[in-house]
Amino acid sequence: MNTHISNGQEASYHYKLVRRAIERLDSNDAPVSLEGLAAEMNLSPAYLQRLFSKWAGVSPKRYQQFLALHHAKTLLRAHHSTLDTAMETGLSGGGRLHDLFLRWEAMSPGSYAKGGKDLQIKFGWFESPFGKALAMGTDIGLCGMAFAEETGAEPAYQDMALRWPNARFTEDNNALAPWVGAAFGGVGAQRLHLIGAPFQIKVWEALLHVPSGHVTTYSDIARAVGSPKAVRAVGTAVGKNPVSWLIPCHRALRKSGELGGYHWGTPIKRAMLAYESATRESAAFALAK
């Protein structure tokens, strides 16, 4: 049933190692040494060091710092994206948004209200840097992406399918593979089909303006969409984002800097933020050479 995107098995294995590191870090206040972590994973320290450095671009020690709970607050102080400014730059669905060439088209409100009636949605399971991923798409582009490591595969599928209860679903990994590959760092353009209520789509569009390695707050999003008092409604719309990772709801934090919830599990949200921070730092180091 699984289709492996480029380096998919290896990327998924690396994520599972990172997930185990998250659990280890959560159970201890003190930092975990490379030697101790390697011993728990039945790996040599040198091999674990290479695996982490290849996956994240930084050492395990530095990566664990990114995974720490206080990292969200550090991000908010140092890499807080001011959305109202970003949206005034004129970026649109057809422009370059964060680190992907991403084109998107929204379903009409009337079609959305019909629960996806007459809509044909393809789905498939893929390996990703964050474990098993479910992708869904129409002929226009990806309309759904979920991560099943925390929830399990069947609950993740039912969660997504029930968002468009009147649609017809067909498994077709091959049709979705190019879009999924591009989503996780491969070549090619990315295409999205946003299926939601008008207010939800405005919130998701705002999220698309948050650069990789940066974060924003729910109140910032509310101001950016012209509804500064609708913070709770914004939070609900963020939580209902159907295309996780590509529409980066993981970059939305509480004003206090706390992570807040994440539909597919807080460990995955932390891993995504850590992955993006490590990638940003690695790229900056390469440019400085």
* 38 backbone dihedrals φ, ψ, rounded to 5°: -65, -40
Question: At 261, is the secondary structure helix, strand, or coil?
Answer: coil
Tokens 């039945």 -> residue: 42
- Asked if residue 120 lies in contact with residue 172, where contact means CB atoms within 8 angstroms, the answer is no
Q: Give the orientation angle of helix 60-67 with respect to helix 266-288, to 10 degrees.
A: 130
249: annotated active-site residue? yes
The residue annotated as part of the active site, out of 249, 252, 259, 268, is 249
* 120 backbone dihedrals φ, ψ, rounded to 5°: -100, 120
- Asked if residue 57 lies in contact with residue 282, where contact means CB atoms within 8 angstroms, the answer is yes
- Asked if residue 231 lies in contact with residue 218, where contact means CB atoms within 8 angstroms, the answer is yes
Contacts of 266 (CB under 8 A, 6+ apart): 259
What are the catalytic residues? 249
